């Protein structure tokens, strides 16, 4: 977010956009759940209600039929009726008797007396017909009461008993118009219809069902669209199987309360949204403003002196305490930053010191060692033995000094965390054999035999930094030689598979290390009393070695017995790969120089001793001529005039540095193709890498080996 944007409006819009739909969504969900639950409840309530209403209605109608039937049974039991079965002349008055009975139902109704075979004996019906052909006759003659409901009339037939035997039949007929009245229950609160089989014959609400409508079982089960707006319950009338009642409850009516809920939800939804929006704005006003102010103030603190500034304490309590806490933190941070700066400055000074010390020491050392070599190998003026011995002492002193410088540089790099290892799968055999060769060379003076079973190293692969691994081995081995007694032995054993590690043990037959001294073995610059002895050493070799081993995830240790000797061991992780293709070193093909042409070597160097050394070296190469300049500017102009085959360039030059000069050379059309070799006392790897980036072909570190310098010149010129 851009600090200059108005955070308030953007945040508010975001919040509103995010929160309001979510809240409304939740409300909607709650609404849907509420509605579903309520709908179910309402439906089950309504169903319960209409189910019992249907049963009540059915029993009401049942009761009506029963009352009607019982009144007819009463008539059938009347002795006048019984007697009429026997006595023909009594029948004349029967119609009159029937008519005198109070009609049980509003509307037309007819009473007929028949004999035991349904033949007419007396009737009030205008049709004057008997029922001899009726299917129910047999039932009545078996003593049953029969009720028949058809689309035209209702018939109730009651047997007339004499001496407990059915001897005649009393038949009451109610035309449809009449028996419909019987099915109408006044003041019935629910909508209902009475079905004759599947046809509606009575309905208390024609909005529900119109008489004449067919209502199938499927409709009753609400399986069709017809009446889908109604909850339905039906019940059979037990004594009138042709009839059933259907009670309907309009869903609109049943679910009316849902509308209220829905409305309430909509209103509360709007209210909620409004409240939410207001709350968001209010909150933003309360919190965002001071927060924005706070953040602006914090943003302005960029460090240094700013850390001393206090930010304004304002706004709600929480923000005030936040500001206070921030101020506290700021001042603490300010104090610690000062300390950090001081430490960093000290460290930097140390590094610079080390770096410049290394550089400054290497430069003269280059001359010392270089000229020693020149003298020692000058074919024109061979030295006598005394001279050679003196020169050898100079060379040893110089090399010891170089070793010391290198070790100190390594240690300082390790401490500064600048030393990096690049792990790879390494076959130890070639490295070991190289180290052994050096060790044997070292041991020649003291007649020390180096024992190693070369075959034991085959087939194991370790995970290490190749160069540092070699350094470690050399260190241990050279110590074993250095601290051994004359004619002693150095034994190397290799144990693969020591719980995933490969162990390299180096035993000597020296005088051993006293137990009380063993603790200080790895302390830098502590030579355990060997300082005054004849054995050269800096006292930091083992501590560097151990650090290197640890950096490569390895382990290091030793056992020592005074008078017997010491065994130092290192362990490195075994690589998953069990073997590596044999490392065949690519042979550097020497470029043979054309013998006829004279090669021009330009050396840009401000140190006269080194310049002189180089002159001596170059003079030893046939057909080679050295030209030199003591500044970069001079060197470049010399190069342009002389067009040398190769340029050797010191980096640390007065005025223009070697790197700047390199840039100019590279940009120059005429000089760009000339190989340029850096020759510097700066041995710090990061500096070397930076220098190489500038376009140098090679980097020659002072003090350099004379032969190495010769080889490079031969190669690139």
Give me the least distance between CB of 139 and another protein, in Å please. 18
Whole-number Å distance between alpha carbons of 227 and 239: 27
Nearer to another protein, 86 or 96 (CB): 86
Q: For the beta carbon of residue 407, count every other beta carbon within 10 angstroms.
A: 20
Give me the least distance between CB of 110 and another protein, in Å please. 21
Q: For the beta carbon of residue 351, count every other beta carbon within 10 angstroms.
A: 16
Does the protein bind another protein through residue 163 (CB under 8 A)? yes
Q: Which part of the chain contacts another protein (CB under 8 A), choosing from 22-30, 79-87, 655-663, 672-680?
A: 79-87
Give me the least distance between CB of 94 and another protein, in Å please. 12
Q: Which part of the chain contacts another protein (CB under 8 A), choosing from 112-120, 148-156, 170-178, 648-656?
A: 112-120
Give me the least distance between CB of 91 and another protein, in Å please. 11
Q: Is the dihedral of CA 279, 283, 285, 286 positive or negative?
A: positive
The residues near 312 (Cβ < 8 Å, ≥ 6 apart) are 293, 297, 323
Does the protein bind another protein through residue 455 (CB under 8 A)? no
Q: 159: which DSSP letter?
A: E
Nearer to another protein, 123 or 203 (CB): 123
Nearer to another protein, 165 or 692 (CB): 165
Does the protein bind another protein through residue 168 (CB under 8 A)? yes
Nearer to another protein, 91 or 615 (CB): 91
User: What six digits make up the tokens of 708?
Assistant: 């190495």
Does the protein bind another protein through residue 138 (CB under 8 A)? no
Q: Which part of the chain contacts another protein (CB under 8 A), choosing from 60-68, 82-90, 299-307, 338-346?
A: 82-90
Within the chain, what is the greatest distance between any pair of CA atoms? Answer: 186
Whole-number Å distance between alpha carbons of 648 and 651: 10
Q: Which of 167, 415, 536, 553 binds another protein (CB under 8 A)?
A: 167
Q: Which of 35, 43, 115, 197 binds another protein (CB under 8 A)?
A: 115
Does the protein bind another protein through residue 141 (CB under 8 A)? no
The answer to whether 132 touches 117, Cβ cutoff 8 Å, is yes
Give me the least distance between CB of 79 and another protein, in Å please. 4
The answer to whether 477 touches 431, Cβ cutoff 8 Å, is no
Does the protein bind another protein through residue 606 (CB under 8 A)? no
Instruction: Give me the DSSP letters along 601-663.
Output: EEEE-S-HHHHHHHHHHHHTSTTEEEEEESSHHHHHHHHHHH--SEEEE-SS-SSS-HHHHHH
Does the protein bind another protein through residue 86 (CB under 8 A)? yes
The full length of the chain comes to 717
Q: For the beta carbon of residue 55, count every other beta carbon within 10 angstroms.
A: 17
Cis previous bond, 703, omega within 30: yes
Give me the least distance between CB of 113 and another protein, in Å please. 11
Whole-number Å distance between alpha carbons of 38 and 45: 10
Whole-number Å distance between alpha carbons of 479 and 568: 10
Q: Which of 4, 79, 135, 381 binds another protein (CB under 8 A)?
A: 79
Whole-number Å distance between alpha carbons of 448 and 575: 33
Give me the least distance between CB of 88 and another protein, in Å please. 7
Parallel, antiparallel or unpaired: strands 424-426 and 120-123: unpaired
Site for another protein in 202-221 (CB under 8 A): none
Site for another protein in 222-251 (CB under 8 A): none
Q: Which residue has the tokens 């065949």?
A: 584
Does the protein bind another protein through residue 120 (CB under 8 A)? no
Whole-number Å distance between alpha carbons of 587 and 70: 132
Does the protein bind another protein through residue 37 (CB under 8 A)? no
Instruction: Give me the DSSP letters along 555-618.
Output: EEEEEEETTTEEEEEEEEEBPSSS------PPPPPPPPPPSSSPEEEEEE-S-HHHHHHHHHHH
Q: Which of 2, 4, 88, 186 binds another protein (CB under 8 A)?
A: 88
Nearer to another protein, 160 or 629 (CB): 160
Q: Which of 82, 450, 549, 671 binds another protein (CB under 8 A)?
A: 82
Q: Which of 23, 59, 71, 90 binds another protein (CB under 8 A)?
A: 90
The residues near 470 (Cβ < 8 Å, ≥ 6 apart) are 431, 434, 435
Q: Which of 18, 106, 117, 218 binds another protein (CB under 8 A)?
A: 117
Does the protein bind another protein through residue 87 (CB under 8 A)? yes
Question: By CB under 8 A, how many residues form the interface with another protein?
Answer: 22
Q: For the beta carbon of residue 646, count every other beta carbon within 10 angstroms.
A: 22
Give me the least distance between CB of 81 and another protein, in Å please. 8
Q: Which of 161, 188, 226, 522 binds another protein (CB under 8 A)?
A: 161
- What is the C-alpha R_g of the chain? 60
Q: What residues line the site for another protein (CB under 8 A)?
A: 77, 79-80, 82-83, 85-90, 115-117, 119, 121, 161-163, 165, 167-168
């Amino acid at each position: 977010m851009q600090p200059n944007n108005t955070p308030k409006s953007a945040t508010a819009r975001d919040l509103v956009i995010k929160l309001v739909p979510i809240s409304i969504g939740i409300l909607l969900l709650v609404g849907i759940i509420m509605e579903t639950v309520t709908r179910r409840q309402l439906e089950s309530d309504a169903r319960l209600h209409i189910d019992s209403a249907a049963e009540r209605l059915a029993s009401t109608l049942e009761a009506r039929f029963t009352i009607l039937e019982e009144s007819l049974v009463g008539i059938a039991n009347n002795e006048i009726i019984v007697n009429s079965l026997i006595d023909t002349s009594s029948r004349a008055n029967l119609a009159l008797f029937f008519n005198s009975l109070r009609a049980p139902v509003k509307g037309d109704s007819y009473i007929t007396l028949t004999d035991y075979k349904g033949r007419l004996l007396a009737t009030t019906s205008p049709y004057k017909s008997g029922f001899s052909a009726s299917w129910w006759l047999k039932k009545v003659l078996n003593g049953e009461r029969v009720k028949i409901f058809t689309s035209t009339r209702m018939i109730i037939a009651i047997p007339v008993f004499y001496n407990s035997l059915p001897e005649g039949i009393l038949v009451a007929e109610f035309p449809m118009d009449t028996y419909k009245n019987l099915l109408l229950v006044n003041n019935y609160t629910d909508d209902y219809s009475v079905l004759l089989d599947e046809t509606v014959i009575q309905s208390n609400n024609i909005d529900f069902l119109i008489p004449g409508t067919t209502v199938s079982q499927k409709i009753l089960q609400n399986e069709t669209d017809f009446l889908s707006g109604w909850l339905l319950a039906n019940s059979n009338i037990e004594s009138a199987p042709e009839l059933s009642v259907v009670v309907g409850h309009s869903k609109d009516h049943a679910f009316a309360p849902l509308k209220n809920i829905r409305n309430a939800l909509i209103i509360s939804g709007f209210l909620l949204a409004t409240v939410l929006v207001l709350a968001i704005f209010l909150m933003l006003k309360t919190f965002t403003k001071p927060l924005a102010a706070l953040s602006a103030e914090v943003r302005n603190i960029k460090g240094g002196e700013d850390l001393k500034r206090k930010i304004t304490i304002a706004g709600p309590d929480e923000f005030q305490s936040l500001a206070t806490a921030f101020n506290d933190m700021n001042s603490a941070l300010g104090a610690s930053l000062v300390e950090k700066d001081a430490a960093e400055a000290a460290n930097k000074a140390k590094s610079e010191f080390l770096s410049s010390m290394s550089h400054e020491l290497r430069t003269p050392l280059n001359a010392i060692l270089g000229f020693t070599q020149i003298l020692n190998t000058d074919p024109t003026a061979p030295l006598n033995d005394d001279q050679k011995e003196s020169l050898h002492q100079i060379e040893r002193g110089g090399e010891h000094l170089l070793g010391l410088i290198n070790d100190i540089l390594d240690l300082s790099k390790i401490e500064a965390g600048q030393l990096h290892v690049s792990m790879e799968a390494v076959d130890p055999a070639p490295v070991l054999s190289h180290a052994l060769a050096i060790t044997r060379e070292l041991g020649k003076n003291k007649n020390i035999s180096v024992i190693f079973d070369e075959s034991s190293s085959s087939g194991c692969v370790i995970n290490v930094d190749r160069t540092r691994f070699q350094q470690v081995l050399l260190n241990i081995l050279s110590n074993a030689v250095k601290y051994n007694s004359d004619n002693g032995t150095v034994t190397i054993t290799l144990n693969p598979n020591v719980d995933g590690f490969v162990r390299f043990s180096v035993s000597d037959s020296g005088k051993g290390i006293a137990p009380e001294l063993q603790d200080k073995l790895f302390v830098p610059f502590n030579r355990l009393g060997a300082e005054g002895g004849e054995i050269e050493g800096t006292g930091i070799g083992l501590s560097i070695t151990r650090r290197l081993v640890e950096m490569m995830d390895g382990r290091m240790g030793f056992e020592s017995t005074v008078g017997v000797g010491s065994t130092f061991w290192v362990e490195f992780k075994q690589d998953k790969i069990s073997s590596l293709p044999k490392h065949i070193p690519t042979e550097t093909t020497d470029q043979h120089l054309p013998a006829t042409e004279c090669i021009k070597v330009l050396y840009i160097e401000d140190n006269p001793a080194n310049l002189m050394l180089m002159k001596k070296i170059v003079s030893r190469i046939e057909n080679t001529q050295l030209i030199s300049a003591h500044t970069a500017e001079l060197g470049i102009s010399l190069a342009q005039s002389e067009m040398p085959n190769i340029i050797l360039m010191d980096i640390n030059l007065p005025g223009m540095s070697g790197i700047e000069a390199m840039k100019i050379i590279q940009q120059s059309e005429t000089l760009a193709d000339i190989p340029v070799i850096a020759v510097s006392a700066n041995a710090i790897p990061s500096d070397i890498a930076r220098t190489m980036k500038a376009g140098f072909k090679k980097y020659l570190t002072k003090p350099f080996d004379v032969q190495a310098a010769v080889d490079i010149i031969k190669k690139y010129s």
